[in-house]
A = this chain, B = another copy of it.
Amino acid sequence: MSLIVEKYGGTSVATIERIKAVARNVAESAKQGNKILVVVSAMSGETNKLLALAKQIHAKPVERELDVLLATGEQVTIALLTLALHAIGTRARSYTGSQIRILTDPVHGKARIMDIQSARARHDLENGAVVVVAGFQGVDQDNNITTLGRGGSDTTAVAMAAALQADECRIYTDVDGVYTADPRVVPEAKRLERITFEEMLELSGAGAKVLQIRAVEFASKYKIPLRVLSSFKFGAGTLITDEDTTMEQPLITGITYHRDEAKVTVRGVPDKPGIAHSILGPISDAHINVDMIVQNVSADGLADLTFTVSSDDLQKSERILAPIAAKLGAEGIVGDGNLAKVSVVGVGMRSHAGIATAMFKALAEKGINILMISTSEIKISVTIDMEYTELAVRTLHKTFGLDDPAHPAAD
């Protein structure tokens, strides 16, 4: 008998009919002899509806009260799903974050889970009941209601799985797994049977939106096998686990992309310690997220520092840096919007040389200019003009054999 945590997102519980379908799915898992704990999100649209109510009262609602308001969304879903389970003869009990006692830090709106009391859930599971838990929410140590931020239900599911030492955590969503590339861009893209935590983290960081990166980190840390699968369509989905060293790893697992990037170059700054900090410090202080950073020192002892931000933040970044560049005696600031980042990810990279070369060659053959490069142990990312995004993704998908039906990553 396995202990499985199943998580259903907002679109999976968007209507009463969908909630009934989820109940049937859960009942089926339970009938197979598994102990099931279900984590659910608010019905699709509910959170935004509640937010809109709050905004009618206050443009910047105080976060403690916003959390009290938003937490009702998941509370409605747990009650309805539990009723739907009862209606088909499956014993179940619902719990809010406060009732299970999902203890978080007191940072309203983006709280982090500190501890989970699992005794009550375990007791119900051992008595054969399905346990239905509200995702996205917890309480701080003074019993104030907190929320974990968007996508927090994935984190709740993984954290519950870790607390209960579950055999698997299944994230039901509107896609049927993790693909070798975005199927809207690459028709030949294939669902991956398995993928490692590291690869999933790199894919998420590089733009793939299947799972919240925090949830993957959590699962990786506590070694909870994570499965992404569709709540609309039967299938095995994609299993995300620790690296299986007994299996041959595919060279490249997936190609991903992220549009609407921009780069900012501060040219001709004196190359001395502290320059990167004087430039990037104020950017970070303005809550602008910096992705890639490259610094080149030329022969004349002057450096160019380039970094990428979201296109939305380009003008703001230039404005912030203008006086700083002047003070540093820089030659100028050059901004460039409408870029994209394309990444190839795969743990196989560790043991194979030449991936970068193959990547650059393939892009060059299509006339795609590479503006910036950054690498990790299992990922190579390049920044290119946004208009080449799809071409680059399709080219790399083919180059690394992911189009090939016999590729070991393939379904």
Q: Point out residues on A near B: beta carbons under 8 Å.
A: 16, 19-20, 50, 53-54, 56-58, 61-62, 64-66, 68-69, 71-72, 75-76, 78-80, 82-84, 86-87, 93-94, 96, 98-99, 143-145
Contacts and interface: CB of A to CB of B under 8 A. Distances in A.
B69 A76 contact: yes
A16 B65 contact: no
Q: Ordered nearest first, which 4 A-B pairs have the shortest CB separation?
A: A69-B79, A72-B72, A68-B79, A58-B87
A65 B82 contact: yes
A396 B32 CA distance: 72
A54 B79 contact: yes
Contacts of A98: 98-99
Nearest to A84: B57
Contacts of A57: 16, 19-20, 80, 83-84, 87
10 contacts: A19-B57, A53-B76, A61-B83, A62-B83, A65-B82, A65-B86, A65-B94, A66-B79, A68-B79, A72-B72
Given A86-B62, A99-B143, A143-B99, A54 B80 contact: yes
B76 A58 contact: no
A65 B90 CA distance: 14
B56 A76 contact: no
Nearest to A59: B87
A65 B53 contact: no
A395 to B, nearest CB: 50
Contacts of A68: 75, 78-79, 82, 94, 96
A99 to B, nearest CB: 6
A340 B20 CA distance: 46
Given A57-B16, A57-B19, A65-B94, A72 B83 contact: no
Given A72-B76, A79-B69, A16 B53 contact: yes
> What copy number does this chain have within its complex?
2
**Dominant secondary structure at the A interface:** helix
Nearest to A15: B56
Contacts of A76: 50, 53, 69, 72
Nearest to A93: B64
Contacts of A54: 79-80, 83
B87 A65 contact: no
A220 B80 CA distance: 39
Interface centre among A57, A69, A76 (most CB of B within 10 A): A57
Contacts of A19: 57
A121 to B, nearest CB: 13
Nearest to A74: B72
Nearest to A77: B69
Contacts of A83: 54, 57-58, 61-62, 65-66, 69
A144 B79 CA distance: 12
Contacts of A71: 75
A71 B99 CA distance: 14
B50 A65 contact: no
A73 to B, nearest CB: 8
Given A16-B53, A53-B16, A57-B16, A79 B65 contact: yes
Contacts of A72: 72, 75-76, 79
Nearest to A58: B87
A94 to B, nearest CB: 5
A86 B54 CA distance: 12
A76 B86 CA distance: 26
Contacts of A16: 53, 56-57
